[in-house]
């Protein structure tokens, strides 16, 4: 049994109030669970939430019949909570022990902190920062990290700290340690590789398991590695795409969160495919980051269940 509590706001006892049609974000909780499928799971969780005064706003579930695994996402309102968050969490822990659950419980009054890693391509960085500024991504972005100085003006434009960490083959491990220190210093919850053209070491990804999202400019598992659009052009494909996935120790083989495609034709040269692909990359990465932030993604094996 594994249990992870996302950091929330101050835990406190809430007095009873009239139920609102539109609860304030600070009163919204999200519970994600996965466990071996058996009877009584849904009823047990509903009973726990009801017994503590939480009001279930939505519940989505999925059963993988081939694996015998059950997945559920519950969004609930704590406006009329009868106890406090600690008591509710303890009750969820007891259910987790009973049903051998993996559990993630988070509250909307905490905004995840995201670090964006980039190299010299700006399209994904611009898109993420615009989505954040417009309120589409409910998070904090305290840091942009790059192995080049090229995109510093963009970070400055959005008022975000930019850290230049140059990397060579000889300095890679030492510089990666500096990056990890920066992440720890800024209390980063999620790392987004927005066309960061460096391969992270297994030690790095192990410190942020399923908390590093990469955008690969190809429809994986086809055309892994470098220059996938050139590979696609050589094969004469009629569809090109992009894949957002969790980065793991195995290059381009982590659990896939989101993918999309766009039409290509014999008239397109590699530059045309790159241009078309950038549009897809932006959209795919934006959706993957938002779904992760909103606690919609569950990892099972090397796959994901995404509650849309």
Residues acting as catalytic residues: 252
Sign of CA dihedral 201, 103, 216, 150: negative
Phi first, then psi: what are they for 10, rounded to 5°?
-60, 130
List of residues 6+ apart from 129 with CB closer than 8 A: 116, 141, 154, 158, 160
For 221-271, give the secondary structure using H, E and C.
CCCCCCCHHHHHHHHCCCEEEEEEEECCCCCCCCCEEEEEEEECCCCCCHH
Nearest to 198 by CA among 220, 178, 226: 226
Distance of alpha carbon 278 from the chain centroid: 20
Q: How many C-beta neighbours within 10 Å does residue 17 have?
A: 10
């Amino acid at each position: 049994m594994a249990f992870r509590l996302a950091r929330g706001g101050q835990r406190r006892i809430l007095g009873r109030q009239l139920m609102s049609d539109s609860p304030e974000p600070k009163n919204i909780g999200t519970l994600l669970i996965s466990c071996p499928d058996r009877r009584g799971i849904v009823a047990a969780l509903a009973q726990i939430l009801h017994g503590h005064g939480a009001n279930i706003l939505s519940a989505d579930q999925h059963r993988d019949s081939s694996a015998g695994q059950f997945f559920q996402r519950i969004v609930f309102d704590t406006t009329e909570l009868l106890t406090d968050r600690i008591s509710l969490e303890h009750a969820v822990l007891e259910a987790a022990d009973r049903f051998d659950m993996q559990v993630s419980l988070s509250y909307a009054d905490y905004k995840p902190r995201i670090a964006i890693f980039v190299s010299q391509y700006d399209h994904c960085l611009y898109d993420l920062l615009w989505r954040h500024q417009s309120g589409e991504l409910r998070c904090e972005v305290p840091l942009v990290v790059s192995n080049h100085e090229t995109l510093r003006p963009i970070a400055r434009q959005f008022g975000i700290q930019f850290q230049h960490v140059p990397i060579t083959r000889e300095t890679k491990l030492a510089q990666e340690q500096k990056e990890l220190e920066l992440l720890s210093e800024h209390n980063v919850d999620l790392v987004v590789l927005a066309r960061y053209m460096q391969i992270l070491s297994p030690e790095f990804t192990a410190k942020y398991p399923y908390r590093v999202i990469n955008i690969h400019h190809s429809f994986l598992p086809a055309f892994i590695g470098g220059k996938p659009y050139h590979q696609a052009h050589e094969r004469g494909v009629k569809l090109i795409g992009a894949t957002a996935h969790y980065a793991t120790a195995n290059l381009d083989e982590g659990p896939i969160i989101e993918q999309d495609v766009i039409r290509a034709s014999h008239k397109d040269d590699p530059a045309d495919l790159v241009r078309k692909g950038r549009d897809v990359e932006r959209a795919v990465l934006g959706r993957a980051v938002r779904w992760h932030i909103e606690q919609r993604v569950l990892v099972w094996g090397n796959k994901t269940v995404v509650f849309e």
